[in-house]
Amino acid sequence: MPGVEMSSSFSGNFFKTVAVIPAAGLGIRMGIARPKQFIIIRDMPILAITIRAFNRSRSVDAIIIVVPDGDVEYCQEEIVHRYKLDRVKQVVPGGARRQDSVKLGLEATKGEYDLVVIHDGVRPMVSSDIIETLIDEAKTHRAVISGIPAKDTIKEVDIENRVLSTHVRERLWLIQTPQVFRYKDIWEAHKMALERGWQEATDDSALVERMGIPVKVVKGSERNIKVTTPADLELIQFWLGEVSE
């Protein structure tokens, strides 16, 4: 990105850290008119619950939120201001794909941070412990992601659902967010993805891997699910002590 100076060194043990929260999806699989990140649970929108975890983090200096183009003002007034999320520095409009939205969030940081934490706006059960652990690990590893070991057998199938292979379960992880990167690495990865046509990256670490950068996995939480379907929403409501209708 022209005009952006990227951090190349760290001063002592201090790592200036920004959280980029992509929340620009339309939530089609949820089957509702309003984007799922704005669904109210326990008197708070899902997105506000998610951001609150980062707003309370001792290691996060700033937050950038990426939302649908028509929801920037709503998010600023009804989420950031209403819930006093004072570490949010910007709310920016997203793109057509998650990949585009993350890149726009990275651009909004202006290269002023050493570490970037990327977390899905509809994973409201993220814990402070996970956030702090990943950021601490990122001080010695260039890329750190959260995930949980696969419990079920996983098979690869073709377009007609015929089994091609069965994978070794002990080596498979289900990857989540947060994911933490050096700013220069993740910016270069997204820039390279655009230049080389790496399409539909639903996982930012996959782009970093393609650059040959080692990625460390840290065990996350089975509760840190992404709200995608009505069943996910019911589970989140239960975990948050909400009685589902």
> pLDDT tens digit string along 120-179?
999 999 999 999 999 999 999 999 999 999 999 999 999 999 999 999 999 999 999 999
The CA R_g of the chain, rounded to the nearest whole Å, is 18
Question: Exposure string (b/e) for 157-186, b if CB count within 10 Å is 16 or more?
Answer: eeeeeeeeeeeeeeeeeebbbbbbbbbebb
- The predicted pLDDT at position 28 comes to 62
Residue 134 structure tokens: 């990943």
Q: The pTM is what?
A: 0.90
- Residues 241 and 42: beta-carbon distance below 8 Å: yes
> Under CATH, domain 17-145+177-239 is a member of which superfamily?
Spore Coat Polysaccharide Biosynthesis Protein SpsA; Chain A (3.90.550.10)
Q: Which residues face 40 on adjacent strands?
A: 45
Angle (CA) 155-160-161 rounded to 5° is 25
Angle (CA) 50-55-60 rounded to 5° is 110
* 34-86 residue pLDDT tens: 789 999 998 899 999 999 999 999 999 999 999 999 999 999 999 999 999 99
Which pLDDT band, with edges at 50, 70 and 90, does 8 fall under?
very low
- The predicted pLDDT at position 14 comes to 77
Q: What percent of the chain has pLDDT over 70?
A: 90
pLDDT, mean over the chain: 90
pLDDT at 183 over 70: yes
- Residues 123 and 227: beta-carbon distance below 8 Å: yes
